[in-house]
Structure 1
Amino acid sequence: MSSRQTKTDVILIGAGIMSATLGTLLKELAPEWEMTVFEKLYKAGEESSNEWNNAGTGHAALCELNYTVEKPDGSIDISKAIQINEQFQVSRQFWAYLVNSNLIRNPQDFIMPLPHMSLVQGENNVTFLKKRFEALSNNPLFEGMEFSEDSKKLQEWIPLIMDGRTSKEPIAATKIDSGTDVNFGALTRMLVDHLKSKNVKMKYKHQVEDLKRTSDGLWELKVRNDKGEVERHTAKFVFIGGGGGSLPLLQKTGIPESKNVGGFPVSGLFLVCNNPEVVEQHHAKVYGKAAVGAPPMSVPHLDTRYIDNKKSLLFGPFAGFSPKFLKTGSMFDLLDSVKPYNVLTMLAAGTKNIPLTKYLIQQLMLSKEQRIEELREFVPNAKSEDWDIIVAGQRVQVIKDTVKEGKGTLQFGTEVISAADGSIAALLGASPGASTAVNVMLEVMKKCFPQHFKEWEPKIIEMIPSYGVSLAENPDLFKEIHASTAFSLGLSKHVPSSDAANEERNIELETVTV
């Protein structure tokens, strides 16, 4: 027997960065709507959003080489880098709005300025990096990027990486100082605290076990509460933002859009430095190139991180495999996700990704010393005793059939799957994920609430001044917004903006919204 039944406007499943962002946006746009969040763990932001489970790059494509692909003619395609940078600027604007409105405080608790760098070795890679730099530095979003293959300059930039380096191979790096480190765990907790202050019901240790459509078009959730009792909750709109746990719940909805979709779990390990003297010698996020056959999420990087206001240093990730879809999931998650309607999709993915499977097996078999050897390609003088291994978050890569690549294509990105009538939506996938949460959630709202979106637009533009405008094509607007968000978020001490600049921005926005 169910212990009780409740009815609400919006249900959010999972208390991570995605649900917290969607909830915060909706509370600004439709404050009268009632909202409930169900989280199976004891507090918010403990799975994929947690600071130890998330790389926290603040993905703006400043340093991630997999977002800039070399085309057959040798030119560099920077379109994806521009798209991801634009999406991160949307997040920055929304966070700045929340700070300026006193809805969240102390931005330094979740975002810090930090140079972003790309580092490569070998003649071909140096040539690629130089071409990438030339292509990006012509774009206003990447203004200020520097390129160097001079060992003295690199010694200045990355002393920990250059000390003890004996290889005669060419080496080069790019550096841009406008990068950030984002603690998405801290940000999630801030947003959730804000939602609680707005009377959003937060239900921790409540596990959603099933979803079904009622005759009147609502969604009914079967939820097991912290006492082990079953509750029934209905809502007009449901968002499934449970990280790796989203796929099984999406499958339970039975919506046609959930068919021919599968998931492949990939876990990760990081080396974390326990020697403060070593930590102090490095101040950047430095991304290298992924090994052949490795997934993009396994690009090696040496990251300065700020966690609990303390500077840390992490290297990784080393890929691993677990059939669990969440760190706190079940060993049967992968098996349970294979259904009659997606088995061919899953099998096709298996045959297409034999190199990836081989790579994961190799990674699983690495000893700590072998991992330290990989670290030494970045930090030649690394000592094993200075580093410990931590387990990062589980990621479930989406597998689906695509027109371009056929059956069982592995997707390395973030996917939103929603019902045709917009009554339910689920977020699947991984990187760039959290960094683009605001843009992703705006897209969810546009798709799921088309009847409200026109009336919401003025408020959206107040929160995100560049909404509907390409910053890459409006360099003056980008400079203005980048300066103002940097000031609001404590990333810059320079007071931005002038009346003239504000006037110019208003004219541009009026042009877009007419």
Structure 2
Amino acid sequence: MQKRCIALTCSRSVYNLSVNSRGIRMGKMSNKQTRTDVILIGAGIMSATLGTILKELVPDWNIKVFEKLDKAGEESSNEWNNAGTGHAALCELNYTVEKPDGSIDISKALKINEQFQLSRQFWSYLVNHNLISNPQDFIMPLPHMSMVQGAKNVEFLKKRFEALSNSHLFQGMEFSDDSKKLMEWIPLIMQDRTSSEPIAATKIDIGTDVNFGALTRMLIDHLERKDVEINYEHKVENLKRTSDGSWEVKVLSDSGKLEYHTAQFVFIGGGGGSLHLLQKTGIPESKHVGGFPVSGLFLVCNNPEVVEQHHAKVYGKAAVGAPPMSVPHLDTRYIDNKKSLLFGPFAGFSPKFLKTGSNMDLLGSVKPNNVFTMLAAGAKNVPLTKYLIQQLMLSKEQRIEELRDFIPNAKSEDWDIVVAGQRVQVIKDTPAGKGTLQFGTEVINAEDGSVAALLGASPGASTAVHVMLEVIKKCFPQHIKEWEPKIKEMIPSYGKSLAENQELFYEVDSSTAKALGLTESKSLQMVGSK
């Protein structure tokens, strides 16, 4: 990336050429063309995180960001377009699976928890080095709870609690099926509950509510102060490999002019829009990959008296056939420094890949190389299709009825409907079969590491630091040894397992809680009191 260009051959009209230490930079031109080190497509949490990490590792690299909207963090990263859960597997039941022998597999929960710890460490580094400030504007301590109803589900939850409690990552979690204790924890949920069905919950105080929109804007503002060029209302139209192995990115600017920007590394972090751009690269890794869009709705409480009666994120169990992103939960949220209460999400369907996308997005993503993959996914996921149709048909009052499983006395007039963000679940051929629907976050990169794209959904933003470290590892392997000391400075547990290193976890938990104004784990508090 740092080689000096000594010649340029280009058929496009060019004016005011100038040479700097990075190569040739071109100024005013009829069809603007410039060369840079790194291009980030999309100004969401993923691009903002990758750009921030790279600027710490190699401050002199030239980075450009292209965003088709007029602000940063307006799609999936926006605070109204996601649940704001700092996903650490503290409350999400789909991260712990009951095996055929009745035991609980907590391996995925451990992995997700460790990945969120990386994010906490990096955010703490940024705060401690005054690169961002006021962490309470994007992260707040909030209990995470799981709640289930029915004897079988209560039994599962108790076994899950016992399994997780064996790990120091989850120490401090409490379980109760006692109605008086539950009334203390979740009075809004327990009040006026007349059902005789068994009910139980787990509670852990070290959970968080994260405003990923606010965090994204902080990171983008920081990058601008570091002379990263942020281009809003610039839509990437195409990506094309050049003869020297770099990538030419065709961009339509807000003025209607075409620009051509060339870089040796391109990251496609455009949310649901990433799939189309990945397909345009033509790399072999983009073949036999499709996407299935799922939209969502939340009920938002407009009655401050009701909002004040609840203080937790309470996750339930997903309905049979529902995607993981549709797990019902009643969440306290902090948005614009105001306490809010949301319930949902209700799944829906739109052929758009972005809220601001086109109704032709889904059809346009079907290519000769993935059509059979897409058809196989459709055949395999008939229950999901039925579930989405049922969700689409729900009236507001029917949604309120589902809310009453959580809040028995919920009143329709206290709640409004808000449309959440679009998610595009990855469809690909895997050892499990053709057209497997993937529920999670996935990076697809070229073999030579010159381009990478982020696809998928939850846990997404919560594990952005982990995901971007994986991008760096795969796409810049020649630099990893050189960069490792700085990475470890930013993320002390890098390369180590917090699940296997109790003392390191206590150290990390304490330092990040202090920097971010969060709650320390009870296990650490007990150690400190001895």
The answer for the alignment partner of 1:313 in structure 2 is: 341
C-alpha separation between the residues in 2 aligned to 1:33 and 1:63?
40
Question: If the length of structure 2 is used for normalisation, what is the TM-score?
Answer: 0.93
Which residue of 426, 430, 433 maps to 2:460? 433
Can you list the C-alpha shifts for 1:169-217, whole angstroms capped at 9, x where unaligned? Answer: 1000000000000000000000000000000000000000000000011
Cα distance per residue 1:61-113 (max 9 Å; x no partner): 00000000000000000000000000000000000000000000000000000
Show the counterpart of 1:511.
Answer: none
Q: Secondary structure at the match of 2:504?
A: helix
Match of 1:224 in 2: 252
Letter in 2 for 1:232: Y
Distance 1:186 1:54 in 2: 12
- Aligned mates of 1:375, 1:156 — CA distance in 2: 20
CA distance in 1, matches of 2:388, 2:496: 41
- What is the match of residue 90 of structure 2? 62
Structure 1 segments, 4+ long, off by >6 Å, are none
- TM-superposed CA distance for 1:370, in Å, is 0.2
Report what 2:163 is aligned to. 135
2:303 is matched with: 275
In the alignment, which residue of structure 1 is the partner of 2:57? 29
Give the residue type in structure 2 aligned to 1:159. Answer: P
Which residue is 2:491 aligned to?
A: 464
Question: What is the CA deviation profile of residues 107-139 of structure 1, one whole-angstrom value per residue up to 9, with x for unaligned ones?
Answer: 000000000000000000000000000000110
Alignment of 1:378-457 (within 5 A): 378-403=406-431, 405-457=432-484
Corresponding residue for 2:20? none
Three-state SS of the structure 2 residue aligned to 1:160 is helix
**CA displacement at 1:54 relative to structure 2:** 1.1
- The structural deviation recorded for 1:347 is 0.0
Partner residue of 1:290?
Answer: 318
For 2:171 and 2:490, how far apart are their aligned partners in 1?
25
How many Å separate the matches in 2 of 1:325 and 1:493?
39
Query: 1:331: which partner in 2?
Result: 359
Query: Offset at 1:493?
Result: 9.1
Distance 1:141 1:304 in 2: 23
Residue in 2 aligned with 1:504?
Answer: none
Alpha-carbon deviation of 1:479? 1.0
Q: Distance in 2 between matches of 1:7 and 1:164?
A: 65
Give the distance between the partners of 1:272 and 1:43, measured in 2 at CA. 24
Matched, 1:491 2:509: no
The structural deviation recorded for 1:23 is 0.1
Please state whether the residue corresponding to 2:318 is helix, strand or coil. coil
Match of 1:299 in 2: 327
Q: How does 1:245-284 map to 2 (within 5 A)?
A: 245-284=273-312
Correspondence for 2:103: 75
Distance 2:504 2:425 in 1: 36
How far off its partner does 1:492 sit? 4.5
Q: Which residue in 1 is equivalent to 2:265?
A: 237
How many angstroms apart in 2 are the aligned matches of 1:98 and 1:238?
24
Assess, with a 3 A threshold, how the Cα gap between structure 1 residues 492 and 165 changes in structure 2: closer, same or farther.
closer
User: What is the match of residue 125 of structure 2?
Assistant: 97
Give the structure 2 partner of residue 178 of structure 1: 206
SS at match of 1:222: strand
8 Å contact from structure 2 (residues 206, 520) kept in 1: no
Q: For residues 73 and 489 of structure 2, what CA distance do their matches in structure 1 show?
A: 27
Kindly provide the amino acid, as one letter, of the partner of residue 86 in structure 1.
E
C-alpha separation between the residues in 1 aligned to 2:106 and 2:146? Answer: 15
Residues 1:152 and 2:205 are matched in the alignment: no
Equivalents in 2 of 1:276, 1:95: separation in Å?
31
| Aligned-pair CA distance for 1:480 | 1.3
Q: Deviations over 1:421-475 (max 9, x none)?
A: 0000000000000000000000000000001110100000000001111111111
Count of matched residue positions in the alignment of Structure 1 and Structure 2? 498
Q: Give the conservation status (yes or no) of the 8 Å contact 2:116–2:463.
A: yes
1 CA distance for matches of 2:161 and 2:459?
A: 21
Is residue 480 from structure 1 mapped to residue 480 from structure 2 by the alignment? Answer: no
Q: Residue 505 of structure 1 corresponds to which residue in structure 2?
A: none
SS of alignment partner, residue 263 of structure 2: strand
Q: Which runs of 5+ in 1 are unaligned?
A: 502-514
Shift, 1:3, TM fit: 2.2
Q: Cα 1:373–1:460, aligned 2, differ >3 Å: closer, same or farther?
A: same
1:277 shift after superposition = 0.3
| Amino acid paired to 2:408 | P
TM-fit CA distance, 1:477: 1.1
Aligned to 2:494, what secondary structure does the other structure show? coil
Name the CA distance, whole Å, in 2 between partners of 1:461 and 1:221: 33
Of all paired residues, the percent bearing the same amino acid is 83
Structure 2 vs 1, CA of residues 367 and 421 (structure 1 numbering), >3 Å: closer, same or farther?
same
Output the CA distance in 1 between the equivalents of 2:485 and 2:325: 37
1:476 CA drift (Å): 1.4
Alignment correspondent of 1:365: 393
2:85 is equivalent to residue 44 of structure 1: no
Report the Cα distance in structure 2 between the residues aligned to 1:354 and 1:492, rounded to whole angstroms.
43
How well do the aligned residues superpose, as a CA RMSD in angstroms?
1.5
Secondary structure of the corresponding residue to residue 185 of structure 1: helix
Equivalent residue of 2:31, what SS? strand
Distance in structure 1 (CA, Å) of the matches to 2:229 and 2:504: 39
Distance 2:85 2:380 in 1: 30
Kindly provide the CA deviation profile for residues 300-348 of structure 1, in whole angstroms up to 9, marking residues without a partner as x.
0000000000000000000000000000000000000000000000000
Question: Aligned equivalents of 2:152 and 2:301: distance in 1?
Answer: 31
